[in-house]
Structure 1
């Protein structure tokens, strides 16, 4: 069994799709450039097909990035031509699903299936991480009290003891007993 990314016959590795999903405006999206590469069409052709079917792509399916968003993304995305682009579209999971009906090719359908699987994996990973974080918090709460006792004991052992007050002795050089002992010698 292989531990690398899976691949459907004739399609792209799923790891390649996973790595292209970005979080923009609080939504998981794929950029038009990445989608066109996956579908095997030019970005211009993909955007043209979307413009011809604009009613199928409301704002929650597809949105254009602002100049500031493009600049920020171009700093983390390897694509060097991104920062020079005037118009970059981001497609949400629903927008990607709608693309298969607009592009109408068997490759588009197969690529969409792989992309949908990537979105599902991402959701599962996020849910698993959230569940793990909850369990870790519960463990911390459960063991905090026990560890507090241990740490308090260690701190107590590390603290130097307070010098006990010596009882005042009446046997001082000024005392008559001291003088009597000195004379007796």
Structure 2
């Protein structure tokens, strides 16, 4: 199979996002998907990584375990283990994706990596704004709970007032009684 040249300007953002997975509490991309996007064979990508292994610490790249692959298959993140080419794939974090482009040294890899990094940044921004919204909603819920308690107190006072009316003094002029 020859190198696939992909025009990165026509790769929809949704396609790139669909290749970003959440594993081990971080966003990752699998080597096979990256190889496809970079226009190289997965085995060539892995070879370059192995030649430059010192550039890929564990927070840049790690190899998936059998259990993680099984989980991804069961959650339909990947169609089957065969989709991975028979070996346990490498997972690349945001930093690993950027380093991979430097190792591959192709213009396509650089351009695709830039798009992917931009998506990682967008996802992070969305997560932050989502967290901020969640905090605002929690504040509103607390206010509503407090309002509910205050309304309950007011109704209790109304109930007490209705059940135990105090005798009222008569208002107005007192007319003396005639004898």
> How many Å separate the matches in 2 of 1:45 and 1:11?
24
Q: 1:97 to 1:83 in 2, by over 3 A?
A: closer
What is the CA-CA distance between 1:153 and the residue it aligns to? 8.0
How far apart, CA to CA, are the structure 1 residues paired with 2:93 and 2:130?
22
Give the corresponding residue for 2:100: 99
Change (3 A) 1:84 1:150: farther
Superposition TM-score, scaled by structure 1 size = 0.73
Partner of 1:108: 109
Task: Provide the TM-score with structure 2 as the length reference.
Answer: 0.75
CA shift, 1:116, in A, is: 0.4
- SS for the counterpart of 1:29 is strand
What do the CA deviations read for 1:39-83 (whole angstroms, capped 9, x no partner)?
121111111111111111111110001111111011221332247
Deviations 1:90-120 (A, max 9, x none): 0001100001111111110110010001100
Report the alpha carbon displacement of residue 146 of structure 1 after superposing the two structures with TM: 1.4
Q: Which has the higher contact order (CA 8 A, sep 6+)?
A: 2
- Flag structure 1 segments of 5+ consecutive residues without an equivalent: 1-7, 155-185
Contact 1:11 1:111 (8 Å CA) reproduced? no
